[in-house]
Amino acid sequence: MEQGDIETMSFEAALSELEGIVRGLEQGQAPLDESIELYQRGDKLKRHCEARLKAAQARIEKIALGPDGQPSGTSPFDAG
């Protein structure tokens, strides 16, 4: 399992490693100390993925439609 710096990982790489950690923990074959370390890294990976998704969501633009139904421009994504 990759042990790189989480902050520099792409979303896809972090998610892939997180999925591997979850599978490993579900199998329950790691000793307790190793399981705790895996869980802690998994938590950091999860938070990293959530932050990357939030940042991506903030950059999404939606198409504003005019009264005739045709696109009239874009406006920043509004999550609310």
Phi first, then psi: give them for residue 31, nearest 5 degrees. -60, 160
Place of tokens 């938070």: 47
Question: What pLDDT score does 47 carry?
Answer: 98
32-68: per-residue pLDDT in tens?
Answer: 999 999 999 999 999 999 999 988 877 766 666 667 7
Count CA atoms closer than 13 A to 35's CA, side-chain side: 10
Looking at per-residue pLDDT, the higher value among 15 and 70 belongs to 15
Residues 55, 23, 42, 77: what is their CA dihedral angle, to the nearest 10 degrees? 10
pTM, to two decimals: 0.70
4-26: per-residue pLDDT in tens?
Answer: 699 999 999 999 999 999 999 99
Among residues 3, 8, 1, 4, the alpha carbon closest in space to that of 52 is found at 8
Domain locations along the chain: 6-76
